[in-house]
Each structure stands twice: as C-alpha cells, then as structure tokens.
Structure 1
C-alpha cells in the first residue's frame, strides 16, 4: 500500500499520494480559499505549484451525479467548471495531457478516487450523495466487472469533530 506524504510549499500544506503511475493526488489543507478559484491571483499562485495548466471542477451540489469529462473538447480557460454534480469521470486516462488537474473540494465530505485500468472517477461524497448512491453510480460506470478496481479515500473530518444526527444515520444506513 502506498503512503501519504506531507508536503509544504510556500504557505501551503498538503498531502501527496503517488500510488498510480502518472497520477498524483494532492489533498490541500488550509489556508487555501477555494472561493477565489477563478481569480487571476489564485491561478497565478496555485496552478503553477502543481504544474496545472487546466483545472476541471464541478459545481458541487451534494448529489449522486457523475459527469464525464470530454477530453476531445478545446478549453480556453485555466479553470473550467464542467457542470453540476459530485463526480468527474475520465473514460480514458491515456488522453489526459500533462498539466490537467481535477478539483474536488471537501470540508466535512470525503474525497474518493476510484480507478480501473485507464478509467478514473473523482468523487465528492457528502452524506446526501452517499445516501443517494454516488458510489454505486461510480461502480456502475466502471462495470460490468469490478475486478482490478483501486480506491483512494482522502483525508476527512472525523466523527469526534463532526457528529451527525439520527436523520443522517438513517439516510445513509437505511436503518431506523
């Protein structure tokens, strides 16, 4: 099993995971403010740190919707919102050019990355998405066989720091 390694650059702390060939996962903590992701200052400072030329993101809405990134399209912006949902699907990683990045933003939600052969799905998993089947949707996309699936679950807030109520428990587990 590959390990996470803590990294520091300028005033930014992050965890790096390099378990997949040509694919590194960076989990960025404070003090980054993602509300300013479209600003020129953010793009000038942040994107070069990770050698990102194009960053693909979603309008995350706590759903079970997964959107396929169309790598045949031409994009002129540096930060591209590809739609509304909580998962980004890349059907062929061999088409991904150097400098492409995917942004999944989490606080109390889980970042989950699922890879099978040359396919990758990046998920933003809040309790509403989990309860409505976002993981099942991701596995359906990668089926018919679930052999050779690799999963990385990124850092998340713990239950001691973020207790949940009965309604969340019942929604996620289906138990009352």
Structure 2
C-alpha cells in the first residue's frame, strides 16, 4: 500500500507559535497543496496526524478545526488531490492520553484504519522530533521538512537515525515519486 502520514502545521500550512486559530490563519505553504495532489494522482493514500491542543486551550473549537480541514479539501479538489484520513489530538500537554505526539495513538488508529499491523516503511513527514518519534514507534520511515519548526528541530540535533531531511513537502514528494 502506498500510504503517507503527514503532520499538518508546518508541513502543509504555515505554523505559528501563537497557534493557527482560524480559517483565515490557515494558509498553505507554497507547493504543499500541489504536492498532495501529485501523491493522490500517483495512487497514494494521504493521512494526517496532528496535535491540536488549541482546542483544549480554548483558542478554537471543533467546528473551526473542521472548517480548516474543509478549506484544505476545497483547495485540493480542483487539483485532483484529497486527504483520506485525518486524526487529531485535541488534548493539552497535561492530559494523559495516548494520542498526543510523540505517543503513537493517532498512528495506531491510522494503521488500523488501513488494516495494517504496523507502519513499516510508511513515510511519516513532520517538522518536529515528536512527529517523527510517534510514527517510528510503529516502524515508519521518518522525513523531516525544514519548513515550520523544521530548522529549529535540526538545530537541536539528535534526529533519529535514518531520518531523511527535505526542504519541504514538495521535495519529499519528489523523492518518493522518483523511487
């Protein structure tokens, strides 16, 4: 199965240390929408696993999150792209849940959705260490993008062994589609 799991903020859309709190603040990164469309057209299933603690913090509600994801779908549709599965963790860092990255709960749910025992060889794309760690617990292949918090993540050092670093989502897709 050709499956890829993407983080959202910093990979698909611009991230903010102040949180992306509205549809107007949800702005795609250059080339990200086209990259997802290219994956879709090449037969890939595209899933998103995203921490959204802004819900727990009261910065936005579920209907706003849904509207952000509707905006993503609306931008993808004319290009032939789509997101097949979105998993999000609405919890804050003080809640004991298994879905908040770096824990693998969302990734386990995605694997179950596709009938997979694990995520061996499945690319997981993120801009932070926790994005990569969550997927790697189920055997995924880590891809770090330099967008979002990616440069900060690189500067901290200690990326997991085997991490593939790319400039952005479009570069990840270029690499995957030429393999």
- Give the TM-score, by structure 1 length: 0.34
Which has the larger share of strand?
1
Structure number with greater Rg is 1
TM-score normalised to structure 2 length: 0.34
